[in-house]
Amino acid sequence: MNKHFKLSLPDSGKDIYMPRKTQTWGYRYGPSIMVEGDVCRAWFASPGDCFEADWFTYRESRDKGETWTDERVVLTPTPDSMDWFSVCDPAVFKYGKYYYIGYTSTIFADGGGVCNNGFVARSEHPDGPFFKWTGDGWGEYRAGCAWMGKPAPIIYYDEDWKHWGAGEFSFVVKDDVLYIYYTWTSKKADGTSYSQTRVATADITREDWPRTIVQHGVAAVRNGGGNDSYDVVFCKELDKFIALSTDKRFSGDSFLSVSESEDGLVFTRVNDIRTNTCFMLHNCGISGDAQHHIGQGDTLLLGYAYGNQWGKWGTRLHRYEYTLMDEDYYSELDLPNLAMESELWERDPDMQPMILTAMKPHYIRVKPGTSAPIEMKTYNSCYEPQTIDAALLTFDNYDTDIVEIKDGQIYGKQVGYTYVDAHLGNLCGTVLVYVDAPETCYDADTRTVVSFEPMLDTYVISLSEGVAKQLRGLAHWSDGRWYEICEVKDGVTYQNHNPELISVDERGICKAIGGTGTAKVTLRAGDFAFVVNVVITE
């Protein structure tokens, strides 16, 4: 069809969230919006408890987006895992009986949330509980217990850890093929920055579809940090994929950008929308059905965060309309947006808790025969904490061979680990408990490496793309700590077996210096070593 998508906002929309006047910060950004029959569902990135940077909240509407239920937290990081720092940027679709939620996270918290990877979890219910893809399956099942699981990335960022990385998913299912869109933000070997939206596909008919992911390259080049991630839907009338993003984000000149694609693999910009949008907008989402399709007659919603105070952002929801146009580009950039100051809401005096969570670091370490208290808090929508008396909690779904729970205390029984579900009314919070060996020494100065494993077996460097890779390994130490290490100062060394093809520096940065071919590098930490392949292509 030789027609193009034209989006318009008939009015200025309305706020469905705004920080309260009592808050110093607050937000619900990057909404993922699903319309299932008469029910509109939405998931948002919200603050965490300051140790965990972000959580996901969930709300629903049964009157086409006019009014929304109170929110509750439905996904949080898994303690002491590859997503321990945050769950950011929700992206939700449904296939079969499962709701799948994609998210962004990192372990490199000290760098300010860099070196991000993309993860996914699933649930039979929109508000969880969600079970995370662990690399082997969905969640963990031991001793008759079903647990969230320690997650493994489905998209792994393999370049310099000091840059933003990968994430910010969007999903579309078409003809039983899952289209996976994600951002990739880094620097090339020559130091120039680049920002892309990439696309991959997977066979969603398979239970283990993350194992089937195939990369298809760059779907769009984004103009630096000003152009936001894509949220993609499939338009049935046009038979095209439609992507919504924000541009000139966080600025007074911000606007919405619409791109389209016939094959879902390469996108071209067709609309720039400023009329009726709020200024300083960012992190948007566009509604679709369970598989992220849209059609005329559907409830059509889009939302974004906005506000002129950093970290104090409202969430604006719009009804949108679309028509099919003959021209290939439509712009409203000569028209003004709505330069509205954020008007914070009054605090609700009857604000109920929306999450029950453990104290930081959200896990407990004991040894056989020793104990530790289970300390839990609740947070309401203003993130006001309340410490909960352990006597008010009930506990279940844990391995009774590993621990015993009595009078609000965790007692170690035998070496291992287990999750524990704590309940307070309709809230459930999960605590990770390690029972360490009696000889475990927690002195960081005397710890030793007990394992060192590759993050990837093979790295690919494209000469035409001019990228560099960073060779990293996952180290575990005798005190129970672990980390991705990549620098000589952290205890890893590199042996380059093919210096005629590649260079490897003391930060593990690997660059192509010769022609095409396959090079090998040995990474060593402590008494452990492994070899990775570096494939150089045109």
Q: What is the pLDDT of residues 40-66, one digit of tens each?
A: 999 999 999 999 999 999 999 999 999
DSSP annotation of 216: E
Residue 487 CB-density burial (10 A; 0-12 exposed, 13-18 middle, 19+ buried)? middle
| pLDDT surpasses 90 at 406 | yes
Size of the chain in residues: 538
**Hey, what amino acid is at 405?**
I
Determine the Cα angle at 169 with ends 468 and 282, to 5°: 100
Domain layout of the chain by residue ranges: 4-331, 353-435, 449-537
Distance CA 241, CA 144 (A): 43
Distances (CA, A) of 88 to 153, 469, 513, 521: 14, 24, 37, 34
SS3 of 126, please?
coil
| pLDDT surpasses 90 at 340 | no
* pLDDT tens by residue, 67-89: 999 999 999 999 999 999 999 99
Homologous superfamily of 353-435: Immunoglobulins (2.60.40.10)
Q: Which of 216, 106, 214, 215 is nearest to 168 (CA)?
A: 106
Which one of 2.40.10.10, 2.115.10.20, 2.30.30.90, 3.40.50.720 gives the CATH number of domain 4-331?
2.115.10.20
Distance CA 393, CA 339 (A): 48
For every residue of 436-474, which 3-state class applies, written as one string? Answer: CCCCCCCCCCCCCEEEEEECCCEEEEECCCCCCEECCEE
Distance CA 212, CA 215 (A): 10
Tell me the mean pLDDT in the region 162-177.
97
CA 207 to centroid of chain Cα atoms: 21
> Is there a contact between 509 and 475 (Cβ–Cβ < 8 Å)?
no
**Hey, what amino acid is at 218?**
V
> Is there a contact between 108 and 115 (Cβ–Cβ < 8 Å)?
yes
Q: Give one word for 168, left, alpha or beta, with left for phi > 0 and alpha for psi -120 to 50.
A: left
**Reading across the β-sheet that carries 449-454, which strands appear in turn?**
449-454, 473-477, 482-485
State the CATH class of domain 449-537: mainly beta
- Decide the pairing of beta strands 330-331 and 268-273: parallel
| pLDDT surpasses 70 at 1 | no
Distances (CA, A) of 38 to 31, 64, 98, 288: 19, 7, 19, 13
At 342 the pLDDT is 83
* Assigned token pair, 412: 């170690």
SS3 of 300, please?
coil
Fold match flag (353-435 vs 449-537): yes
* Assigned token pair, 381: 């929508």
* pLDDT tens by residue, 276-315: 999 999 999 999 999 999 999 999 999 999 998 889 999 9
Distance CA 392, CA 397 (A): 17
DSSP string, 472-516: -EEEEETTS-EEEE-SGGGTEEEEES-TTTEEE-TT-EEEE-SSS
- Give the H/E segment covering residue 404: strand 403-406
* pLDDT tens by residue, 474-507: 999 999 999 999 999 999 999 999 999 999 999 9
> Is there a contact between 101 and 43 (Cβ–Cβ < 8 Å)?
yes
Average pLDDT, the chain: 96
* Assigned token pair, 533: 């392949």
Tell me the mean pLDDT in the region 185-210.
97
Beta bridge partners of residue 453, listed in sequence order: 474
pTM over 0.95: yes
Tell me the mean pLDDT in the region 366-388.
96
> Is there a contact between 34 and 94 (Cβ–Cβ < 8 Å)?
yes
* Assigned token pair, 357: 């969570």
> Is there a contact between 396 and 423 (Cβ–Cβ < 8 Å)?
yes
